[in-house]
Structure 1
Amino acid sequence: MKTTLSLFFILLFLNSFSQERFLEKNTNFSESTYTYQRIKKDKNLKLDFYKPKKRKGKVPLLIYVHGGGFSGGDRKDKAATDFAKEMVQYGYAVASISYRLTMKGIGFGCTTSSVLKIAAFNDVSKDISYAVKYFLKRKNKFKIDTDKIILVGSSAGAEAVLNLAYVYENKILDTNFKFAGIIAMAGATISIDKITTETAIPTQLFHGIQDDLVPYNIASHHYCKKDATGYLPLFGSKAIAEKLKLIKKPFYLYSVKNGDHSWNARPIYQCKNEIIDFLYYDVLKHQNRQVETAI
């Protein structure tokens, strides 16, 4: 009897511990569309905003940036909407945003100038900044906790959010503003020099080690040769994690040994628990962990 009771209380504790990561489980949410930046009538930038219902107080905001090589993709694609509808159930507001597809008709391969590639990173970082500014100016309307805005990106979106957090010279947001965290799925950045003890934020990185488009560690984008017009050295998830490890800042690196570029979306479906764990303990609770997982 004593053994049975002990087992019961252990299971009860483990269950309560696992549930602690969730802000609130609620399947009811609202969905609305807003124009966050006006360019031209047919090119205005919009976002879809998902908000948990009956949630009291201000809520953390996840800003989701879709992939598509800066030439395609959509804020309403399946991965974006599935991610938003999943995370909103756990107490997070989610904004899935559109941005300018500046490489449409140009491509992002080895024949595309590296200068144009960097410009694309910066253009999308600029658009994301306008989306953030839109929420900051309307924080009371949306009931957003402006100290808990987290960037989430897939593929090109991951490159854009990493660029915004760690490279881009932002003239749109206040110099005192700082993102609460970042989740990058198959992303990379052109430099890790600006990742310092002052700029570092909790960073979760998902990446397939065999990714042949966006390097897992340090290599050129699309593995272009040095003499190619599009040669652009990038620092992938492994390199970013190593820099954060060096300066003793929090990161969560999830590496997939045989994974390819499809891991730009697969974490949404296969790593929900890891995402929730990171958001709760590293972003909201500031536990300053350094986690490395390989499958």
Structure 2
Amino acid sequence: MKMLLSLILLLVFFDGFSQERYLEKFSKYKEKTYTYHQLKDEESLKLNFYKPKKAKRKIPLLIYVHGGGFSGGSRNDKKSRDFAEEMVQYGYSVASISYRLTMKGKGFGCATNSSLKIAAFNEVSKDISYAVQYLIAHKNKFKIDIDNIILVGSSAGAEAILNLAYVYDNKILNKNFKFAGIIAMAGAITSIDNITSDNAIPTQLFHGVKDNLVPYYIASHHYCKLASPGYLNLFGSRAIANKLKAINKPYYLYSIKEGSHNWNSKPIYECTKEIIDFLYYDVLKRNNRQIETTF
């Protein structure tokens, strides 16, 4: 009886420990670079994988997609590394990925044809899918809980992950696969029509109300005029939140009242508490909350 009681107490202790690790910052970590997709005529795509050193069981994975207008940025630039190093210390694994910079040398403004912009969204969604496919295939090696894979992106990265989750026709991942959550910082999508009760997932949205590039609500990308080649109507965080609210699905909208597009990466530094809260209560615990905060 005493042995049984001791075993029960030990299991309770470790269960509590495993839960608290996603709320408290304490884990040491290790990092390694992997090639996740070989390209024929281009540089192969790589990811930096961050894992808590003491991970003994499968743990949730954050896939971070950097910004940069689909023409710049890097998987190991300061913002990407700062985010990964912060989150891994809370007990999450993080994969910060490279992707093809299809708009390099072309720009992403009003003179760039809207069809090229849409193609960029889709090409990066494809690359992210290859990364996910690779990580799932090596889930035991990386100790990944494939039921808790969360997409995180800033600016162009946010547009890409929202496109992947809610617009992109995915031919790479298993049709039954579903991401556990999304964290989009200054992102938008080309349509909200495909957000349904079946495919909606917990979505956290950070966005400056006065974003001058990616609309907070509904407007053209870069606020291009209708007659310009780059005119592309987008649905920003406010519109996405409204759709999720209408179909009674979880979302967490963090609006920055005076924020411009400069806020696209500030949540990495300014909103750690909100990100950890969302990941734990809405993604891991499935609390299905609807939260709106204005800063």
- Residue 194 of structure 1 corresponds to 194
- Residue 3 of structure 1 corresponds to none
Instruction: Tell me, in whole angstroms, the C-alpha distance in 2 between the residues paired with 1:27 and 1:63.
Output: 18
Deviations 1:81-120 (A, max 9, x none): 0000000000100000000000000010001000000000
Deviations 1:27-80 (A, max 9, x none): 410100000000147510000000001122101000000000001111111111
Tell me which amino acid in the other structure corresponds to 1:145.
D
Cα–Cα, structure 1 residues 35 and 41, in superposed 2: closer, same or farther, change >3 Å?
farther
* Count of aligned residue pairs for this structure pair: 278
Cα–Cα, structure 1 residues 21 and 29, in superposed 2: closer, same or farther, change >3 Å?
closer
Instruction: Tell me, in whole angstroms, the C-alpha distance in 2 between the residues paired with 1:26 and 1:50.
Output: 14
- Residue 276 of structure 1 corresponds to 276
- Residue 220 of structure 1 corresponds to 220
Instruction: Tell me, in whole angstroms, the C-alpha distance in 2 between the residues paired with 1:244 and 1:103.
Output: 31
Cα–Cα, structure 1 residues 244 and 294, in superposed 2: closer, same or farther, change >3 Å?
same
Superposition TM-score, scaled by structure 1 size: 0.92
Cα–Cα, structure 1 residues 263 and 157, in superposed 2: closer, same or farther, change >3 Å?
same
State, as a whole percentage, how many aligned pairs show the same letter.
73
- Residue 52 of structure 1 corresponds to 52
Structure 1 vs Structure 2 CA RMSD? 1.4
1:254 aligns with 2:283: no
Q: Which runs of 5+ in 1 are unaligned?
A: 1-15
Deviations 1:176-219 (A, max 9, x none): 00000000000000000010000100000000000000000000
How far apart are residue 262 of structure 1 and its match? Answer: 1.2
State the SS of the aligned residue for 1:116: helix
Deviations 1:130-160 (A, max 9, x none): 0000011111111100000000000000000
Is residue 21–residue 277 contact of structure 1 (8 Å, CA) maintained in 2? no
- Residue 150 of structure 1 corresponds to 150
- Residue 71 of structure 1 corresponds to 71
Is residue 21–residue 280 contact of structure 1 (8 Å, CA) maintained in 2? no
- Residue 80 of structure 1 corresponds to 80
- Residue 4 of structure 1 corresponds to none
1:98 aligns with 2:98: yes
Tell me which amino acid in the other structure corresponds to 2:26.
N
- Residue 8 of structure 2 corresponds to none
Is residue 217–residue 237 contact of structure 2 (8 Å, CA) maintained in 1? yes
Instruction: Tell me, in whole angstroms, the C-alpha distance in 1 between the residues paired with 2:229 and 2:294.
Output: 34
Deviations 1:156-183 (A, max 9, x none): 0000000000000000000000000000
Cα–Cα, structure 1 residues 186 and 21, in superposed 2: closer, same or farther, change >3 Å?
farther
State the SS of the aligned residue for 2:293: strand
Superposition TM-score, scaled by structure 2 size: 0.92
Cα–Cα, structure 1 residues 165 and 147, in superposed 2: closer, same or farther, change >3 Å?
same
State the SS of the aligned residue for 2:200: coil
